[in-house]
A = this chain, B = another copy of it.
Amino acid sequence: MLVNGARGNLISIRDRGLLYGDGVFRTFTAIGGHASHWPLHYLKLKHDCAALRIACPEVALLTTELRELLASHPDGVFKLMVTRGIGQRGYTPPTSSQTTHLWDISSLPADLPEWAIHGVKVRVCDLRLSTQPQLAGIKHLNRLENVLAAGESTDADIAEGLLCDAAGNMIGGVRSNLFLVIRGVLVTPDLARCGVAGVQRDRVMAWAKARGFAVQVRDITLDECSNADEVFLTNSVFGLWPIRELGENSWHQFPLASQIRLDLQGDQS
């Protein structure tokens, strides 16, 4: 645990990250002292900071801190947060605040291997995501919609909830991105109005591009999702989960999803 470079697990109650959710974060895994896709995570962090006009710490600083943490915590889930720091009272962003950056580490989750291979059961959440083009795609700290959606079900068999917007477009999972395979084409939701664009989503799209697979980024209905040849979820902690059950629909084979999963696992740069 590092807060602005110093060992510690506390933050000021005047930090705008707490007051307003005025910040962004990344979550990724480390295994055997190697942090998965750190360069991609840093790029995304920088992009998200820029979208909120928060000054992102330099890559050299964060990489040094990450190395220090990996030396004592070679395996775990790493969370990196950057907030706009402490300002005067009120919503107006301070013109010259010192941003806050902090690291937290948790143990790796236990349930992954089986779900990744045999697929997961998912449900559609009741909550409908709101539409805010200025925040869409960004992994910011305003996550109450995800909290409410995650709290809808306590069924331990359900690995993830799927989220739609008010118009009924599928946007993704509560903590993951969504892909469909329809006649050999990869289809993933357009995240211009809501949702979070994750690093694993980018990696799947890069995978497809490198292999000549077509990718469509567009609006998707629940019906299309239910009738797709394969459906899968991605995030930076669990990697890739095929969906085996959604409502009355079930899938038993995931040839393309499995291939992508293995290829992405093989590239841990």
| Complex-state Cα separation, A93 to B127, whole angstroms | 15
- Asked if B144 contacts A20 (CB within 8 A), the reply is yes
Contacts of A13 in B (CB 8 A): 1, 3, 9-11, 81, 102, 104
- Tell me, rounded to whole Å, the shortest Cβ–Cβ distance linking A245 to chain B: 20
| Complex-state Cα separation, A52 to B146, whole angstroms | 12
- Tell me, rounded to whole Å, the shortest Cβ–Cβ distance linking A160 to chain B: 11
The CB with the most chain B CB atoms within 10 A, among A52, A89, A130, is that of A130
Contacts of A25 in B (CB 8 A): 19
- Asked if A140 contacts B144 (CB within 8 A), the reply is yes
Task: Please choose the segment from A147-155, A202-210, A224-232 that sits at the chain B interface, where 4 or more of its residues have CB less than 8 A away.
Answer: A147-155
- Asked if B174 contacts A91 (CB within 8 A), the reply is yes
A46 proximal to B (CB < 8 A) = no
| Complex-state Cα separation, A13 to B25, whole angstroms | 12
Contacts of A247 in B (CB 8 A): none
- Asked if A9 contacts B18 (CB within 8 A), the reply is no
- Asked if A144 contacts B150 (CB within 8 A), the reply is no
A72 proximal to B (CB < 8 A) = no
| Complex-state Cα separation, A13 to B81, whole angstroms | 10
The chain A residues found within 8 Å of chain B, CB to CB, are 1, 3, 9-22, 25, 52-53, 77, 81, 84, 89-93, 102, 104, 106, 127, 130-132, 134-135, 140-151, 166, 174-175, 194
A-B CB proximity, top 7 nearest: A21-B21, A130-B130, A142-B142, A91-B150, A20-B143, A10-B10, A130-B132
A-B contact pairs, 14 of them (CB 8 A): A11-B12, A13-B104, A18-B81, A19-B25, A20-B21, A21-B143, A21-B144, A90-B150, A93-B151, A127-B134, A131-B166, A132-B145, A135-B148, A142-B143
- In addition to A13-B81, A13-B102, A135-B145, 10 A-B residue pairs with Cβ atoms within 8 Å of each other are A9-B12, A11-B11, A11-B13, A18-B81, A21-B144, A52-B148, A53-B151, A84-B147, A89-B106, A91-B150
